[in-house]
């Protein structure tokens, strides 16, 4: 896809992977609509993105909305279309993660995570599709996670939402292909973003030990892989060798990964027990 003068709508576009992708697309000449909840953060991101525009006619707009709310999501997409025009590209990057021990987490955490990560994507896709279908073109990109390929200890509220996105993307791919609309799903590894920083505040020791075995990517590096994947019309976008192998072989690798994770979890529990005994002593 040639991004020059194309219209990209990006949810979660005020930070992390969403903002990094918006900045890269702006540098390639795209018009950008970013959607996120906090007006001040949105406006700051808009200024950053504008500095990278490659031509004077480019438009960058910021629309405050909570995509977990269907009405707000629909209104935000419609506002973007009204101001700039039909979307050539929709990237659903808005998301949240609150790791913790299953029994200790309130049900509300599970509900809000599904509302933002899954339904927040679904609402925006439903709202943007008519304009894409009318022109018989467009591309939808959903941001899943490595945790959408294999369940990870401590991520019981998060992994199921990212698995759900995978199911939505796989189901939509064939349905929308006939309409001339492409679908991609991205499986980023751990990425250095404000969301990861927030996750680390509640992440169990066992989860930290599991996730520390993999490289943490920059948001800019993941954004580059996303844009390359869109250009190639790839369905599955997997930054790095680990995610590529996991995406292709996750069913075969699952028993081995479970054994490996169990070893890490046992080690973490032994360390916690040791520290507890030392504290008592």
Domain residue ranges of the chain, discontinuous segments joined by +: 7-252
Please report where in the chains the tokens 């930290």 appear, as a residue: 208
The per-residue pLDDT for 244 is 83
pLDDT of residue 266: 79
Residues 6+ apart with CB under 8 A from 205: 268, 271, 272
List Cβ neighbours of 124 (8 Å cut-off, separation of 6 or more).
Answer: 9, 11, 35, 67, 73, 76, 77, 90, 92
Give the catalytic positions in this structure: 144, 158, 162
Q: What is the pLDDT of residue 280?
A: 53
CA distances in angstroms from 103 to 109, 113, 154, 160, 184, listed in the order given: 12, 16, 10, 16, 34
Distance CA 63, CA 43 (A): 9
pTM of the model: 0.88
Residues 6+ apart with CB under 8 A from 109: 98, 100, 157
| Domain 7-252 -> CATH class | alpha beta
pLDDT of residue 258: 60
Give me the residue label for tokens 């998301």: 95
> What pLDDT was estimated at residue 10?
98
- Tell me, what DSSP letter sits at residue 118? I
Residues in the chain where the model's pLDDT stays below 50: none
């Amino acid at each position: 896809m040639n991004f020059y003068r194309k219209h990209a709508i990006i949810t979660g576009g005020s930070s992390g992977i969403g903002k990094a992708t918006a900045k890269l697309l702006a540098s390639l000449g795209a018009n950008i609509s970013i959607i996120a909840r906090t007006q001040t953060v949105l406006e700051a991101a808009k200024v950053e993105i504008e500095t990278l525009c490659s031509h004077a006619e480019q438009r960058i707009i910021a629309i405050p909305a909570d995509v977990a709310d269907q009405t707000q999501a629909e209104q935000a997409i419609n506002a973007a279309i009204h101001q700039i025009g039909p979307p050539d590209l929709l990237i659903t990057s808005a998301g949240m993660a609150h790791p913790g021990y299953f029994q200790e987490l309130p049900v509300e955490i599970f509900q809000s995570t599904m509302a933002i990560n899954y339904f927040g994507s679904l609402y925006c896709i439903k709202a943007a599709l008519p304009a894409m279908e009318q022109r018989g073109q467009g591309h939808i990109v959903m941001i899943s996670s490595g945790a959408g390929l294999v369940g990870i200890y401590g991520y019981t509220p998060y992994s199921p939402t990212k698995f759900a996105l995978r199911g939505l993307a796989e189901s939509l791919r064939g349905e929308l292909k006939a309409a001339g609309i492409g679908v991609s799903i991205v499986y980023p590894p751990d990425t250095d973003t404000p969301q990861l920083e927030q996750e680390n505040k509640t992440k169990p020791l066992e989860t930290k030990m599991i996730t520390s075995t993999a490289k943490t990517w920059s948001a800019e590096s993941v954004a580059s892989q996303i844009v390359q994947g869109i250009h190639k019309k790839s369905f599955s976008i997997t930054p790095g060798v680990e995610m590529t192998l996991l995406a292709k072989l996750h069913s075969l690798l699952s028993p081995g990964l479970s054994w490996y994770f169990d070893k890490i979890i046992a080690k973490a529990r032994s360390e916690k027990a040791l520290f507890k005994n030392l504290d008592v002593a």
